[in-house]
A and B are shown apart, each in its own frame.
Chain A
Amino acid sequence: MTSPRSLFDKVWEAHAVRELPDGQTQLFIGLHLIHEVTSPQAFAMIEEMGLPVRFPGRTFATVDHIIPTDSQLRPLADSLAEEMMVALETNCRKHGIPLFDTASGHQGIVHVIGPELGLTQPATTVACGDSHTSTHGAFGAIAFGIGTSQVRDVLATQCLAMAKPRLRRIEVTGKLGGGVYAKDVILHVIRQLGVKGGVGHAYEYAGPVIEAMTIEERLTVCNMSIEGGARVGYVSPDETTFDYLKGRTYSPEGAAWTRAVDWWRSMATDPGAPFDDRVEFAGADIPPTVTWGINPGQATGVDEPLPALSSVPDDERPGFTEALTFMGFQAGQPIAGTPIDVAFIGSCTNGRISDLREAARVAKTGQVAPGVRTLVVPGSQEVARQAEAEGLDQVFKAAGFDWREPGCSMCLAMNPDKLVGREMCASSSNRNFKGRQGSPTGRTLLMSPAMVAAAALRGEVTDVREIL
């Protein structure tokens, strides 16, 4: 018998083309996803080098970052955005790359459409010029966020030069409490291990809580790996994974399906596989979690206070004070009851159908508080169709929420959806960095979509368990 191995090691080995002179590995990339923001310069670079796209059938494109979520009619009102759309269309046409634009019926956030189309498959390598590419790890894919020069590398060679990271297993044991979601699990992990905790590591998420999760919940967890410093995060594939993929547009069919599942099973992490280290969390200890600061690790339980200054190590105090000042909070104050101006439900972290269902369940119980601006932005056209078929759009509208077209929207505010001034935003997205949501002084509180809906109804940060 061969010794037990992790999915990560097996996938790495299967995709290694060769060892490079500098000690890195040349890794074959099975799936390359591109969007309008990080690809135009890469196409220009390969053209300058006189190189074709090496495997055009392994790259797929969509538009998500700049697309407006009110009117998506062309030409876009923002001429710079329009120019980027045209560049992507031209490049895709020229190089034979399929583009899921708004007319395709499959447009959406790159990390939402890859999974829902069945493009993301277990035991493959995935790359995309976007740091949240770790999302695709939910299928047991090894997925890397890359920069534009690396987009060039993949277009030209279908490979990346990568140093093999260390592997950490994060086990979440037991069960989650009511009103506690996948978002809370990953916010808790980052809160405990820190935003730098995962640097140089790939995370394998495992344990009963992760095993019990749906694919959509696993996508949420893997999505934020990068916020904890880990470029790659994944869940080894199981029956949940295969059930999700069966019958998807790009999933194998018939005899190929059987071959695929056999291979995927063989690539899963073996019992007893070695890891560089392990960390364990008890599901029962995870509260609905809210960030209070300017990085995703600055978080607290909704029913807990912000940390007291005395509990913060000396070397972290400058960052701690900077965050408090920016946010306008006091050390030790409660987070619940913080008034909000804006509620944003969407993004590649929490813009899928299950997220909208949970948020709608809360929305149904009341009306958006006076003065709160809301945006509900489905992650893709497919999510929007499904939500509309289930009447979720009507639930949101009846409660006073603004129902929008799919895109990244106020996750990074490259389109017209932006915070204004010092607005405080309850957000289901993944980054609370200064200026992230479009106003240099705007403030972001990250939380689960159900918690965002609760905050919208009450006009302040609210423990969703009081409503559910």
Chain B
Amino acid sequence: MTEKIIERVAGRACVVRGSDIDTDRIIPARFLRCVTFDGLGEHAFEDDREQAKGDHPLDDERFEGACILIVGENFGCGSSREHAPQSLMRFGYHAFVGASFAEIFAGNCTALGLPCVTLAEADLSALMDSVEMDPEQEVVVDLASRTVRHRGGSLPAGVRDGTRKALLEGSWNATNVLLEAGQEIEARARDLPYTEGFRSQGP
């Protein structure tokens, strides 16, 4: 079984500046009191937005309908909560462009079919300026050619080979890929001395 093939995400973009933006800020913990991810979209960046009193990029009309989020360094650090990319996805973002991404966040994004690509510092800063000045322009995150294109030109983008391949082949639902190992999983388990040999009772 394969998922949707993701070659490129194209559309308008939104810019959230700042480095080390953690997942507590992306989705505050009180919204984790839920048994489904539905309804998380409206709470993305809620506390930051509240404090910015309407002056947050997610509330900026000029960025309305954007499907690409442009961010700084170490985006998504902190808690492993998948609620963070889930809320951004449900808000409408389907790709992320940044200086760097925290590892668990990037992995969670891949598992949802959301590409995270990186740009060189100067390119990123020029892209941010350009999109802020002209939010109407189309930005294209192109995995096939490993570029981010916009009015200002075509920028070489970084993306891990494996992630790129999984998105391009539609094999980003890891469960399906892992299941293909079949009985090799049980065989590996049997080879580990602790799976059977160290057993004790428990309470």
Contact = CB atoms under 8 A, between A and B. Distances in A.
Chain B contact-residue range equals 35 or more
A49 B175 contact: yes
Nearest to A123: B194
**Residue from A65, A131, A158 with most neighbouring chain B CB atoms (10 Å):** A131
A131 B181 contact: no
B192 A440 contact: no
Contacts, number: 225
Nearest to B109: A147
B111 A22 contact: no
Interface string B69-89: 000011001111111010000
Looking at chain A's contact residues, is the secondary structure mostly helix, strand, loop, or mixed? loop
Interface string A302-344: 0000000000000000110010000000000000000000000
Interface in B83-124: 83, 85, 100, 102-104, 107-108, 111-112
Given A259-B197, A435-B24, A26 B178 contact: yes
A413 B29 contact: yes
A159 B181 CA distance: 10
A260 B22 contact: no
A187 interface: no
Contacts of B195: 30
A157 B36 contact: no
Interface stretch (A76-84, A173-181, A207-215, A234-242): A76-84
A199 B185 contact: no
A161 B177 contact: yes
A440 B46 CA distance: 9
Interface string B121-164: 00000000000000000000000000000000000000011110
Given A252-B200, A260-B194, A412 B175 contact: no
Given A22-B171, A200-B103, A440-B51, A98 B202 contact: yes
A130 interface: yes
Contacts of B19: 318-319
B30 interface: yes
B170 interface: no
Interface residues of A, number: 89
Given A153-B174, A161-B177, A433 B36 contact: no
Nearest to B107: A147
A366 interface: no
B161 A22 contact: yes
Interface string A421-450: 000000000010111101011000000000
A156 B82 CA distance: 18
Contacts of A123: 194
A163 interface: yes
A252 to B, nearest CB: 4
A145 interface: yes
Given A121-B194, A152-B175, A263-B194, A84 B25 contact: no
A159 B178 contact: yes
Interface string A249-265: 11111001001100100
9 contacts: A20-B162, A81-B33, A147-B104, A153-B175, A156-B179, A160-B178, A295-B77, A319-B20, A441-B51
Interface of A: 14-18, 20-24, 26, 28, 30, 37-38, 40-41, 44-46, 49, 51, 54-55, 65-66, 78, 80-81, 83-84, 87, 98, 104-106, 117, 121, 123-124, 129-131, 145-150, 152-153, 156-161, 163, 195-196, 199-200, 226, 229, 231, 249-253, 256, 259-260, 263, 295, 318-319, 322, 412-414, 431, 433-436, 438, 440-441
Given A23-B161, A40-B35, 18 more contacts: A15-B192, A22-B166, A51-B175, A104-B203, A129-B82, A145-B80, A147-B81, A150-B174, A156-B175, A156-B178, A199-B103, A229-B77, A249-B202, A260-B193, A260-B198, A412-B29, A414-B29, A434-B48
